Amino acid sequence: MIQKKIKYLLALVFAFSVSFYGCKTDHKGTETGGSRVAFPKNVPQPLNYENLSKLIQDMKEFSQAVKQVNQKEVQEIDSSYQDVYFETVQQPLLLNLYPDPANSKVIHLVVPKNPQTGSDYVLRFDQKLPVINSNEVIAELHTSNPEAPLACPMSVTDLSAYMKEYRGHKFQIRYKLFKQFSQSGTFDFDALIYPVYRTKGLPFLVFQIASAQLTDMTANAIADCK
Query: Would you say the pTM of this structure is higher than 0.75?
Result: yes
Instruction: Give the model's pLDDT for residue 35.
Output: 58
In a 10 Å sphere around its CB, with 0-12 CB exposed, 13-18 middle and 19+ buried, how is residue 58 labelled?
Answer: buried
Task: Report how far apart, in Å, the C-alpha atoms of 42 and of each of 29, 82, 188 are.
Answer: 15, 9, 23
Query: What is the reported pLDDT for 184?
Result: 63
| Torsional sign, CA 63, 64, 69, 70 | negative
Q: Residue 70 has what pLDDT?
A: 94
Detail the DSSP E strand segments found in the chain.
45-46, 86-90, 93-100, 105-111, 121-129, 134-142, 150-155, 171-178, 204-216, 221-225
Three-state DSSP state, 138: strand
pLDDT reported for residue 11: 40
Q: Describe the strand order of the beta sheet including 105-111 as a list of residue ranges.
A: 93-100, 105-111, 150-155
DSSP for residue 49: H
Closest CA to 114 of 202, 223, 218: 202
- The per-residue pLDDT string of the chain (226 residues; one tens digit each, 9 = 90 and over) reads 444 443 443 343 333 333 333 333 333 333 333 456 799 999 999 999 999 999 999 999 999 998 899 999 999 999 999 999 999 999 999 999 999 999 999 999 999 999 999 999 999 999 999 999 899 999 999 999 988 999 999 999 999 999 999 999 999 999 999 998 876 666 778 878 888 877 678 899 999 999 999 999 999 999 999 9
